[in-house]
Amino acid sequence: MCLAFLAGFVNPSTATEVKKAVCNGKVVGSGGEPIAGAKVGLYKMPLSMDVFALKADLAQQTTTKDDGTFTLETDVATDNLILVEKEGLAIGWANWNLSEEIIDVRIILGEAKVLAGKVIDEYGNGIAEAEVSIQFMAVPSGRYAHYLFGEISRQLFTSTTDVEGKFSFERIPADATAEFLVKKPGRVTVNTYDPSSGLKLQFAPGQDNIKLVMPVEAKIEGTAVEKGGDKPVSGVKIMVLREQKQPGLKQEPIVSKEDGTFSINALPSGKLFLQIVPLIEGLADWVAEPVEVTTEAGKTISGVKVEVVKGGLLEVVITEAEGEKPLERAEVRIYQQSRNQWLNARSDKEGIARMRLLPGEYLIGGVHKEGYTQEERQETVSIEDGKTARIKWQLVGQPKIVGVVREEAGKPVGDVTIRFLPGGGTDFKTDDEGRFEVAWNPRWWRSDETVRCVVARDERRNLAAVAEIEKETKPLDIKIMPGVIFGGSVVDPNDKSIARAQVIILLRTSSWSVGIRRDEVETDARGNFEVKAIPPGQRYYVIARADGYGEKQIEADADDAVGGRLRVEKLILPVANLSVSGVVVDANDKPIAGARVYCYSEGQQQRGTQTDAEGKFTLDKICPGKVNVLAWGKGQLNGSVQTEGGARDVKIVISAEERGESRFVPKQPPSLAGKALPEFKEFGIELSPADVNDRMILLCFWDMNQRPSRNCIMQLAKQAEQLKEKGVTIVAIQSAKIDQTALNEWIKKYNIPFAVGMVTGDEEKIRFEWGVKSLPWLILTDREHIVRAEAFGLAELDEKIKAITQK
């Protein structure tokens, strides 16, 4: 089973070391105003390997104060979710990984939106009394996102469809996206979340065409037996996979009965795999080869056998390098190439991670434990029936940076946030005596030229300092001083303020630039922001980004502050109102489904998506200008192109070959075919009703300075009377700005009998909007002025007119 997705939220290896964790939070409205009396719940979310979902147990409850603040403390060794609710507003939440002993969160409760849809059968008919749950929901938060998933999400959002199959959920944040879980007896259990799509969720408030299809279920009936003897085996936990590497289709395992039988319903049709549930802790009783079953809707596949064996054992003995102390709860990653499958195990109190495995070759990909440096080692081990393979593995405890933070007068300062840079990304707090202790990973400092420092900040008292440290550092004595306050504003290209834009402050050194705080700062309703406790004497990058816009980065030097304040230059964000779409193919021009596609460029926010079954993709919220697009398929397949915002039909060819510079794919003008002909008054052309009503329009973009264009206009002049009799009005547009007098003289000289206008604005933009790719360019409409032909030659004109008049 693939647990890479959950790894971002769950870090069980930190469990026993965490003594106390504190969350200081503030709940505000969409305009930044504090919200008092909001209900705040702290939910413990231990990972259950039996059900492959995060459970949720309410551990604490409190309410926000008049200023919207709250504090939570916990010593529970698991991940947490902070859920905030207030009548009349959308819910809000934050994820809290307990590798973070101290966090400061800001949770926004905005306008509540509705997420609604319809559950239908394979024929489009509504299905009543289907249970619909929000399985997974995400809200963007700067560079990251907040996620609501598993049991807590289903507790909050579960509904039953009405007689027409409709469902509706309220209290949804306006900028949320979601995935659904749908159940009903006799129907396929539908889980819309596709793990291979990463964290790009499909459904959002405001969509009015959500349809969740529930076909008739398929069933599997079988028996778990000992291989070779067919002796029934009870208590075998079985999961169903669509592919061997994907998480289970079922939300809970199926357990074989005393006679070894099992029955699985609510399954989709197609190729499925039955596999024993792997354990991450403890030792499984049995292992088995995955069993492939092809199901059909409305049918039961009987007689399926899951043949279990004892296999062999792998024991990884994990100790601390100094003193060989056994290390409990170290995590082991094991890969079996023949099945393309990663497995996980965790060490017990004796420091031993035990796994029961099928015979074969396995790769131990690494051993990890919080606070220890992972050994750069991989080892292949062979597992045989009835035998135990034992591997020894040592981890080196990470060195620690210790120190004390003092005021200028020498008094220790408690409750100061400590961040170790460039590595880590986790905040700590000084104790009442101003002391701190931070573990660091030497692998972050492979280069002796890497600058290393501790950033100490106290935003409430506006105190800050940066202390550079050596690799073999002694205890630090940090003098914290009055910090600099950065202020500024974020606007669009029309100088309109952008509220809720995210602003990031990066500390700059000669070798890296890293954020000085855990979260971004958001602009207020007027687009203004303020960041306190900026360490003086340093240089910074200030980056702003917002939903629906690109990003802007500027430089700032704290030494330029006056009176402790620095007003940075205005951050102007480009509008991201375009998209880039296309297809990903292999070297044989075959579309690649499920390929990951990303884009990046200066001024663009990074975007990601996945190709559909036809290899097609669309990247939304792209700014004008050049953009690099990269695609990855399975294995080592990759490819890239450089294109422009608004480009369509972009083809990315992926292969295992090394590539040089990406080829440039220009943005293609849109086609007007099938669309109403745009107005052309801007070109100085006014046609009479007699020239327009019930008449076809032939439009020619041309350039008097080009011979092919001149020839085309003169040919049209010769055919003008004949075309008029056929019901065609001719209009010519000089597509480049030239001297009006010279144009008039040329028209008079060659007796051009139809209206001729000229482009006076941005030539390139106008040609693009009209879909003009070359000159001369002909466009022909029907009598209702709908474009029916474009990009054709004069020799094809009669045929195009005939095709229109015969309709």
3-class SS string, 520-557 = CEECCCCCEEEEEEECCCCEEEEEEECCCECEEEEEEE
Phi and psi based region of residue 727 (left: phi greater than 0; alpha: psi -120 to 50; beta: remaining): left
Structure tokens, 638: 């990759």
Q: How far apart are CA 686 and CA 701, in angstroms?
A: 17
* Residue located via tokens 């083809």: 651
**What dihedral do alpha carbons 114, 119, 120, 125 form, nearest 10°?**
-70
Please give the CATH architecture assigned to the domain spanning 681-805: 3-Layer(aba) Sandwich (3.40)
Q: How far apart are CA 343 and CA 339, in angstroms?
A: 11
- The Cβ-side half-sphere exposure at 690, using a 13 Å CA radius, reads 2
Tens of pLDDT, residues 495-521: 999 998 989 999 998 878 888 887 788
Helix (H) or strand (E) holding 416: none
CATH class of 112-213: mainly beta
Phi, psi of 591 (to 5 degrees): -60, 145
CATH superfamily of 400-481: Carboxypeptidase-like, regulatory domain (2.60.40.1120)
pLDDT of residue 564: 94
**DSSP 8-state secondary structure symbol assigned to residue 12:** G
Please give the CATH architecture assigned to the domain spanning 483-572: Sandwich (2.60)
* Residue spans of the chain under pLDDT 50: 1-18, 48-53, 244-248, 658, 660
Helix (H) or strand (E) holding 329: none
CATH number, domain 218-309 = 2.60.40.10
In the chain, list all ranges with CATH 3.40.30.10: 681-805
Peptide bond into 422 cis (omega under 30): yes
Q: Does domain 4-109 have CATH number 2.60.40.1120?
A: yes
Instruction: Let me know: does 715 contact 797? Beta carbons within 8 Å.
Output: no
Pairing of strands 484-491, 565-567: parallel
Q: How far apart are CA 390 and CA 546, in angstroms?
A: 53
Who contacts 181 (Cβ-Cβ below 8 Å, separation ≥6)?
Answer: 132, 133, 134, 135, 154, 189, 190, 191, 192, 251
pLDDT of residue 8: 33
Instruction: Let me know: does 392 contact 317? Beta carbons within 8 Å.
Output: yes
Pairing of strands 484-491, 528-534: antiparallel
pLDDT of residue 238: 92
**DSSP 8-state secondary structure symbol assigned to residue 735:** -
CATH number, domain 578-664 = 2.60.40.1120
In the chain, list all ranges with CATH 2.60.40.1120: 4-109, 112-213, 312-397, 400-481, 483-572, 578-664
Structure tokens, 57: 């147990």
Please give the CATH architecture assigned to the domain spanning 312-397: Sandwich (2.60)
Instruction: Let me know: does 241 contact 191? Beta carbons within 8 Å.
Output: no
